Amino acid sequence: MVERHTGLSIFCHVVLLIGAAIVCMPLYFAFVAGSLTVGEVQQVPFPLVPGGHFVENTVLAWNEGQFSRLYVNSVIVTVGIVVGKLTVSLIAGFAVTYFRFPFRMTAFWLIFISLMLPVEVRIIPTYEAVADAGGPLRSLFDAIGLTGFIADRTGYQLDAALQWNMINSYGGLILPLIASASATFLFRQFFLTVPDELCEAAKLDGAGPLKFFWDVLLPLSRANIAALSIILFLYGWNQYLWPLLFTTEKTMATAMIGLKDLIPVADAQPAWNIAMAASFFVMAPPALVILLMQRWFTKGLVDSSK
Amino acid sequence: MPASDAIMMENEGVGTRPRLPLRRSLRSLVGTSEAGLKASHFRRPWLAAGLLAPQLLILLFFFFIPTWKALSLAFVQVDPFGGTMIFVGFENFTTLFSSPEYRDSAILTLWFTVVQCIATLAIAGLLAFATDNVMRGRAIYKGVILLPYAIAPAISGVLWAFLFNPTVGPLAQMLHQLGFAWDPNRRPFDALLLVSVAAVWKHVCYDYIFLVAAFLAVPASVMEAAAIDGARPVRRFFTMTLPMAAPTIFFLIVMNFVYGLFETFGIIDTVTRGGPAGSTNTLVYKVYQDGFRQLDLGSSAAQSVILMVIAVLFTILQFRAVERKVNYQV
């Protein structure tokens, strides 16, 4: 701050207060709605102070939407996405920056190209890929005659063994979301800034590539891993389109889908109080993460775009 | 050599951010090129292959094969019940471009994306400017304004759908009292407005984070010099801070477009489901509608291909934007 202007300072505080109020307004009304009974939530004008049924509505929403199960699903899927994507991209980033091997640039470009297409633009073919993950292998083996060969010799039906349907499975929910190389690219960029002397020293001391990776590179990447985990956690928890497509069974749905099912539709009883109470426990985990780890996450987000 | 290039080269020398080898010759794809390889490295091809295998396998099954399928499906017609496919060339595309429905969807997507982009950037800019100019309570303001980042687009949709629900929503009731015939279930414009509000509310925090960081990065010495020359804060903002943050703003425009085009599915599905009368049926939502509801796979794949082209264009722009960030370093 160069100099102080009282007028400007007041103006800025007013702007920020209005901004904060607009951010909080939907959350406040959601809380009010979540604390009313079905009858109260429909009165005109809408009450401005909360009623006393929030806990009751939360429990009701939790049981009605089978959230005990959906919450576990959400946790498994989110952790799977975070751990899976971090692992896969750390070792892939390590391979393209620290190894000299044929087709290194080909591998890099194959990974790089995948940055170009967000999942949303290829929903239908990816759905097919998940519904029939063995399909490409089947047609490959058919084409080279392996299926017939094995069936002739051993009577083993390769086609039947290669029927992998991943609809309604954790794999189907996790793997397509890992299939983008953004994190790999990020780690590659970071590894390129690590001083060469570290690797030289490790080699002189007789450390192999894996030991170097585990004892030097991983500890150095801790800050990046932490920031990326937070972003991936939010990304995984807040997924909507994939669980909507890939889970036809209620028991495999995620908490986000459970919330969607609670929204009153046109002809049903407008139980907005239940839906609003549920929205709080569905958005609680990512909101807590943001509030507790704000500094890590803002730094990570801004850095990851560089 | 222009001055900006010199600055960039100097910057490269420090090794802050290695630049992408975007313009490499095709030969380097096959050979063991040195680009992006550490000077001190290992030569264990099989180990490298093993480390790369998980990433490449996942990409093969869930990226390359689906993308290839979308491309090939775009040129055939499939009947929804059997498995018969007929090659029809560009017919899916010509039908799309001549269909008024698709044109309407494209126009409304453009409207929605542009309005969302401008509103988000303007609000985030105002808030970031204010944050830059207050001393007290900065952390609290930031914490509150960042909160929607944690909230899924689908939940943002649910919250706003409730607030503006024509029968029970508190804000809709206020509008009715003021004499507006607000009803997003029947009036197309209301629905589009509601979806836009939910989208902006959810996304302002993203632009805000970047703008606060960009405004903070403006060197104090430059600001002091301007202040000594008699420029007051508002003028300093428009003539110094804003131009210096231009690369970030360009980056954010690209990111806002990407968000508006591809990531607002959850909002639309929870608020309007593309209705009423297709008034919020954006291009991405239409791919889902036509593919999963109408089972018109050929047309849906052709739409996917068009979206892919748009997405590739935006990715290239995005990398350009990231590259341009270097220019204004002092």
Q: Tell me, yes or no, whether B61 lies in a domain.
A: no
- Distances, alpha carbon B183 to alpha carbons A128, A266, B37, B172, in Å: 38, 13, 59, 8
Per-residue pLDDT at B17: 40
The tens digit of pLDDT for each residue in A70-86 reads 999 999 999 999 999 99
The tens digit of pLDDT for each residue in B301-315 reads 888 888 888 888 888
Task: Indicate if the pLDDT at residue B132 is higher than 50.
Answer: yes
pLDDT band of residue B292 (cuts 50, 70, 90) is: confident
Query: A102 and B70: CB-CB below 8 Å?
Result: no
More confident residue, A161 or B280: B280
Residue found by looking up tokens 């899976």 in the block: A84
Task: Indicate if the pLDDT at residue A63 is higher than 80.
Answer: yes
pTM assigned to the model: 0.83
Query: B158 and A301: CB-CB below 8 Å?
Result: no
Domain that holds residue B320: 99-328
Q: Which amino acid is at B84?
A: T
The tens digit of pLDDT for each residue in A100-111 reads 888 888 888 888
Query: What is the DSSP code (8-state) at residue A265?
Result: P
> Cβ neighbours of residue A235 under 8 Å, at least 6 residues apart?
A81, A177
> How far apart are the C-alpha atoms of B305 and B311, rounded to whole Å?
10
Per-residue pLDDT at B5: 32
* Nearest chain A Cα distance for residue B98, angstroms: 21
Q: Tell me, yes or no, whether B116 lies in a domain.
A: yes
CA nearest B135: which of A151, A4, A241?
A4
> How far apart are the C-alpha atoms of A279 and A286, rounded to whole Å?
12
Q: Tell me, yes or no, whether B90 lies in a domain.
A: no
* Long-range contacts of A201-206, Cβ-Cβ distance < 8 Å, separation of 24 or more: A203/B40
CATH for B144: 1.10.3720.10
Q: Which of A35-39, A121-125, B41-45, B222-226 has the lowest mean pLDDT?
A: A121-125
Residue found by looking up tokens 């300093």 in the block: B236
Q: Give the CB-side neighbour count of residue A77, counting CA atoms within 13 A.
A: 32
Per-residue pLDDT at A268: 65
pLDDT band of residue A305 (cuts 50, 70, 90) is: low
**With pLDDT > 90 as the criterion, what percentage of chain B qualifies?**
17
pLDDT band of residue B4 (cuts 50, 70, 90) is: very low
Cβ contacts of B42 on chain A, cutoff 8 Å: 98-100, 208-209
Q: Over the Cα atoms of chain B, what is R_g?
A: 25
**With pLDDT > 70 as the criterion, what percentage of chain A qualifies?**
94
Interface test with B, best of A120, A218, A237 (most B CBs within 10 A): A120
- Distances, alpha carbon B282 to alpha carbons A220, B101, B103, B112, B118, in Å: 44, 11, 11, 8, 18
CA nearest A30: which of B158, B70, B184, B113?
B158
Return mean pLDDT, chain B: 80
Q: Tell me, yes or no, whether B246 lies in a domain.
A: yes
The tens digit of pLDDT for each residue in A208-232 reads 899 999 999 999 998 889 888 888 9
> Cβ neighbours of residue A203 under 8 Å, at least 6 residues apart?
A212, B40
Per-residue pLDDT at B120: 95
> How far apart are the C-alpha atoms of B297 and B302, rounded to whole Å?
9
Q: Which of A92, A106, A179 is nearest residue B63 as measured by Cβ atoms?
A: A179
Q: Which of A15, A116, A237 is nearest residue B126 as measured by Cβ atoms?
A: A15
The tens digit of pLDDT for each residue in B77-99 reads 776 665 677 787 788 888 888 88
pLDDT band of residue B201 (cuts 50, 70, 90) is: very high
* Nearest chain A Cα distance for residue B228, angstroms: 9
The tens digit of pLDDT for each residue in B232-254 reads 888 888 888 888 888 888 888 88
More confident residue, A233 or B70: A233
Per-residue pLDDT at B323: 63
Query: A9 and B133: CB-CB below 8 Å?
Result: yes
Per-residue pLDDT at A21: 93
Q: Which of A1-10, A252-261, B309-318 has the lowest mean pLDDT?
A: A1-10
More confident residue, A249 or B199: B199
Q: How far apart are the first and last CA of chain A?
A: 27
* Nearest chain A Cα distance for residue B80, angstroms: 14
> How far apart are the C-alpha atoms of A243 and B75, rounded to whole Å?
28
* Nearest chain A Cα distance for residue B1, angstroms: 25
Cβ contacts of A191 on chain B, cutoff 8 Å: 38
Per-residue pLDDT at A23: 92
What are the tokens at A123?
A: 């929903």
CA nearest B29: which of A108, A245, A124, A188?
A108
Q: Tell me, yes or no, whether B55 lies in a domain.
A: no
Q: How far is CA A61 from the centre of its chain?
A: 24
Per-residue pLDDT at B14: 35
Query: B15 and A41: CB-CB below 8 Å?
Result: no
Cβ contacts of A270 on chain B, cutoff 8 Å: 165, 167-168
Q: How many domains does chain B have?
A: 1
